[in-house]
Amino acid sequence: MSAAKPESSDANAPTPAPTDFIRDLVAQDVAAQRYPQIVTRFPPEPNGYLHIGHAKSICLNFGLARENAGRCHLRFDDTNPVKEDVEYVEAIAADVRWLIAGWADHCLGYKPKGAHPAAQSVAGKPDFHLAAVAPSEAAEPFFASDYFEALYGYAVELIKKGRAYVCDLSAEDTDAYRGSPDKPGRNSPFRDRSVAENLDLFTRMRAGEFPNGARSLRAKIDMASPNIWLRDPLLYRIRHVPHHHAGDQWCLYPLYDFAHCLSDYLEGITHSVCTLEFEVHRPLYDWILGSLDLPRPLPHQYEFAKLQLAYTLVSKRKLLALVAGNVVSAWDDPRMPTLSGLRRRGIPAAALRDFVTGVGVTKFDSLTEAAVFENCVRTHLNGAAQRRLAVLKPIKLVLTNLAPGETVACTATNNPQDENPTTRPLALTREVYIEADDFAEVPPPKYFRLKPGGEVRLKYACIIKCEELVKDAAGALVEIRCTADLTTRNGQPNADRKVKGTVHWVSATQCVDAVVRLYDRLFTVPEPAAEEDFLKVVNPKSLETVTAKLEASLASAQIGESFQFERLGYFTPDAKDHASGRPVFNRTITLKDTWAKA
């Protein structure tokens, strides 16, 4: 039995392991040595992109493996070929690898490429098992579709035991016979078919003899059960559709409830952790496993409350509607709550892990404030992001006492949060840009930025004084003319002279033009899913695109880097559109919560 590995032994773990009721149950199993190793799994269906809600499940399942020297399998529960696609398989695998990189990737379980469950004997009984391997070029994630042959064999065994039957009811009649939560169902007229007839029909179903919907395989449990999921649930249905992974070998596909528990068993999963909506499915999970003579220890299902984040949707169907309706550009649009969208926006994986872990694991649904997530992101970026100067909405400022072509050397700090902060050179030139919002010709009370006759400090440079305004024929401001007090630079005699306002700037002759996308929350209400039409509460100001002026050093910014544009927020080069000579930056998050008083 592998002992639990203390979190403090891992250099990547800055905080102690979290505690919750699921971890307590796992700890009891570890103490009782019930399993040789703790094995969990993350089993998405490849019918869409992963979203922030999935991050909680990923971090819980991989966290359990990480904290107990265990393993977590990435498995695609791909039993519905109509809605699934290779695009989603590849995106999901990339998202999972990104989220666990440097944290729990050593716990990730794959299987040899093309491998299927191998026959073995356990305690004299026949068995099937598919062992995990470490990720490599010769390995791939687990796929439930690789178990179709084994699952078919288990279905045949249930038929032989008299616990499953072939039913000819249509989908509509099946629903009608099922009854309702307060009314028992009725037995199918095909429920008492003989074992021989059921075996014959099931074999012919596999052979493709019948059209879609003509027949199904159902478990024989109890049509009067108070749990509607135990009223002879469907186990198999006919679908003459090729499969993205299994090809065209099958026209008979298992339903999720049948495939899921047996996939867990075939892989040797010990703790099958899922969200609360599957709690009512657990009796069926246990019934299927208990109805077969399976010789190895059986997995157990545990449920927790899903993550519900304010101002966010986590319904794949509704997220697909946003993409299909061109409300957003794609699944990885930085406004989307998908993991690929969050990554493209510049959210650090470590910040996302800390957030979903900090929310905790309970059995009670609740809404988490968006500010909790955003503050977690700010905390991470504040420590990691290099500081740079950028002007999003520029207006020209001329320092009249500097000659054309003259430069004044200045020094800027890269990150004051570093233990040993480094610096970089900046050039103050005759012409610079400042933010248009940092000047007011008729300032309001207590306005400490630049105004006619007023003084401010150009950050990292010197104090300047506004002397003159230049306007065009229409009266629009064209440039601000100032004088620079160069004696107030760092290291100069008057460096300590104080003024109330400090503004950022970039040199007009040594800057880079860039497209900057200012992203904000996608919805205007905390619970868009509760709206009758969620599309009516899409935030019309969720994206503003500007042409900005950036300090010259940002010309070499690389995809994946994060920067704090001082006084503005955190930004990252766009993973799709950023290129050398054509910089494109996305705003990850503002420096402060701009919604706090909304």
75, β-bridge pairs: 142
- Return the SS3 of 280: helix
As a whole number of angstroms, the distance between CA 192 and CA 503 comes to 82
**Closest CA relative to residue 64, chosen from 100, 32, 111, 115:** 100
As a whole number of angstroms, the distance between CA 223 and CA 232 comes to 6
As a whole number of angstroms, the distance between CA 345 and CA 323 comes to 17
311 in a domain, yes or no? Answer: no
Residues 569 and 473 in one domain: no
310 in a domain, yes or no? Answer: no
The reported pLDDT for the residue numbered 2 is 34
Q: Is the dihedral of CA 357, 360, 361, 367 positive or negative?
A: negative
H-type helices in 294-414, by residue range? 316-324, 339-345, 349-359, 370-384
197 in a domain, yes or no? Answer: yes
As a whole number of angstroms, the distance between CA 581 and CA 184 comes to 69
Residues 403 and 495 in one domain: yes
Residues 276 and 210 in one domain: yes
Strand segments (E) across 383-476:
386-388, 390-391, 394-399, 407-413, 423-429, 431-435, 455-458, 463-471
| Domain edge (last residue) among 278, 304, 330 | 304
**Residue 87 half-sphere exposure toward CB, CA atoms < 13 A:** 10
End-to-end CA distance of the chain: 54
As a whole number of angstroms, the distance between CA 242 and CA 118 comes to 25
1 in a domain, yes or no? Answer: no
Residues 557 and 471 in one domain: no
597 in a domain, yes or no? Answer: no
The residues of the chain scoring below 50 in pLDDT are 1-14
Q: Which residues of 427-441 are buried (b: 16+ CB within 10 A; e: fewer)?
A: bbbbebbbbeebbee
| DSSP single-letter state for residue 486 | G
Residues 350 and 211 in one domain: no
Residues 173 and 122 in one domain: yes
The reported pLDDT for the residue numbered 597 is 60
Angle between helical axes of 21-31 and 52-67 (0-180°, round to 10): 20
| Domain edge (last residue) among 471, 491, 509 | 509
Q: How far is C-alpha 583 from the chain's CA centre?
A: 25
As a whole number of angstroms, the distance between CA 179 and CA 177 comes to 5
| DSSP single-letter state for residue 165 | E
Tokens 């037995």 belong to which residue? 187
Residues 441 and 297 in one domain: no
Residue 96: its H or E element: helix 86-100
Tokens 């065009």 belong to which residue? 472
| DSSP single-letter state for residue 369 | P
Q: Are strands 71-76 and 142-143 parallel, antiparallel or unpaired?
A: parallel
**Amino acid at site 241:** V
2 in a domain, yes or no? Answer: no
Instruction: Note whether 582 and 554 are within 8 A (CB).
Output: no
Contacts of 136 by beta carbon, 8 Å cutoff, 6+ apart: 110
The reported pLDDT for the residue numbered 9 is 37
List the domain range (segments joined by +) for residue 212: 7-304
Residues 40 and 133 in one domain: yes
Q: What share of the chain is helix, strand, coil (3-state, %, to 5)?
A: 30, 25, 45
| Domain edge (last residue) among 509, 544, 576 | 509
Residues 246 and 340 in one domain: no
Instruction: Note whether 577 and 584 are within 8 A (CB).
Output: yes
Residues 505 and 526 in one domain: no
